[in-house]
Amino acid sequence: MFDELDWTYRGTYMRERHGVSVDVANEAAADPSRIVIDPDYNSTSGRTVRIIGYSVLLGSIVMVIALSDDGVDYGVNGWLSNKRDQKIYREAEGHGQN
Protein backbone atom coordinates (compact mmCIF):
# COMPACT_ATOMS: atom_id res chain seq x y z
CA MET A 1 0.00 0.00 0.00
CA PHE A 2 1.26 3.47 -0.99
CA ASP A 3 4.34 2.07 -2.78
CA GLU A 4 3.36 3.81 -6.01
CA LEU A 5 0.96 6.72 -6.01
CA ASP A 6 -1.26 8.04 -8.79
CA TRP A 7 -0.34 11.70 -9.27
CA THR A 8 -2.73 12.36 -12.16
CA TYR A 9 -4.51 15.17 -10.36
CA ARG A 10 -1.81 16.69 -8.13
CA GLY A 11 1.64 15.96 -9.57
CA THR A 12 2.02 19.23 -11.46
CA TYR A 13 0.72 21.25 -8.52
CA MET A 14 3.18 19.60 -6.13
CA ARG A 15 6.13 20.28 -8.43
CA GLU A 16 5.16 23.91 -9.05
CA ARG A 17 4.23 24.71 -5.45
CA HIS A 18 6.84 22.73 -3.50
CA GLY A 19 9.53 21.78 -6.04
CA VAL A 20 9.04 18.06 -5.40
CA SER A 21 8.77 15.80 -8.44
CA VAL A 22 6.56 12.74 -8.70
CA ASP A 23 9.68 10.54 -8.81
CA VAL A 24 10.96 12.02 -5.54
CA ALA A 25 7.57 11.67 -3.84
CA ASN A 26 7.15 8.06 -5.00
CA GLU A 27 10.67 7.22 -3.86
CA ALA A 28 9.99 8.63 -0.38
CA ALA A 29 6.61 6.88 -0.19
CA ALA A 30 8.25 3.54 -1.08
CA ASP A 31 11.18 3.96 1.35
CA PRO A 32 11.44 0.65 3.27
CA SER A 33 12.06 2.70 6.42
CA ARG A 34 9.15 5.07 5.82
CA ILE A 35 6.81 6.10 8.58
CA VAL A 36 3.07 5.95 7.83
CA ILE A 37 0.81 8.04 10.04
CA ASP A 38 -2.82 7.07 9.50
CA PRO A 39 -4.67 9.32 9.63
CA ASP A 40 -2.40 12.27 8.98
CA TYR A 41 -2.28 14.34 12.16
CA ASN A 42 -3.21 17.47 10.15
CA SER A 43 -6.02 15.85 8.15
CA THR A 44 -9.37 17.62 8.39
CA SER A 45 -11.29 14.76 6.81
CA GLY A 46 -9.36 11.99 8.55
CA ARG A 47 -9.00 10.25 5.18
CA THR A 48 -5.45 11.20 4.25
CA VAL A 49 -2.27 9.45 5.32
CA ARG A 50 1.08 11.11 6.05
CA ILE A 51 4.11 9.22 4.76
CA ILE A 52 7.57 10.31 5.87
CA GLY A 53 10.38 8.79 3.84
CA TYR A 54 13.84 9.39 2.49
CA SER A 55 14.50 10.33 -1.12
CA VAL A 56 17.96 9.48 -2.45
CA LEU A 57 17.20 11.58 -5.54
CA LEU A 58 16.71 14.66 -3.37
CA GLY A 59 19.03 13.61 -0.55
CA SER A 60 16.45 14.56 2.01
CA ILE A 61 13.50 13.39 4.10
CA VAL A 62 10.25 14.08 2.28
CA MET A 63 6.69 14.20 3.57
CA VAL A 64 3.98 12.84 1.28
CA ILE A 65 0.21 13.05 1.72
CA ALA A 66 -1.74 10.17 0.18
CA LEU A 67 -5.38 9.16 -0.08
CA SER A 68 -6.85 5.75 -0.88
CA ASP A 69 -10.12 5.88 -2.80
CA ASP A 70 -11.87 3.00 -4.56
CA GLY A 71 -8.71 0.89 -4.49
CA VAL A 72 -6.46 3.58 -5.94
CA ASP A 73 -3.70 5.23 -3.90
CA TYR A 74 -3.55 8.88 -4.90
CA GLY A 75 -0.73 11.27 -4.18
CA VAL A 76 -2.20 14.48 -2.80
CA ASN A 77 0.88 16.55 -1.97
CA GLY A 78 4.51 16.37 -0.94
CA TRP A 79 7.27 18.64 0.28
CA LEU A 80 10.53 18.65 2.20
CA SER A 81 9.79 17.49 5.71
CA ASN A 82 9.64 19.90 8.61
CA LYS A 83 11.61 19.43 11.84
CA ARG A 84 8.75 17.54 13.49
CA ASP A 85 8.55 14.94 10.72
CA GLN A 86 12.35 14.68 10.51
CA LYS A 87 12.42 13.91 14.22
CA ILE A 88 9.68 11.27 13.87
CA TYR A 89 11.60 9.60 11.02
CA ARG A 90 15.00 9.69 12.69
CA GLU A 91 13.76 8.49 16.07
CA ALA A 92 11.95 5.57 14.45
CA GLU A 93 15.19 4.70 12.66
CA GLY A 94 17.20 4.98 15.86
CA HIS A 95 19.18 7.93 14.57
CA GLY A 96 18.39 10.26 17.46
CA GLN A 97 17.60 13.91 16.83
CA ASN A 98 20.45 14.83 14.48
pLDDT value at position 3? 75
CA dist., res. 56 & res. 21, Å (int): 13
| Domain residue spans of the chain | 11-92
Q: Kindly tell me the burial class for residue 6, based on how many C-beta atoms sit within 10 Å of its own C-beta (0-12, 13-18, 19 or more).
A: middle
pLDDT value at position 71? 92
pTM of the model: 0.90
Average pLDDT per 10 consecutive residues for the chain, totaling 98 residues: 89 96 97 96 95 97 97 97 96 62
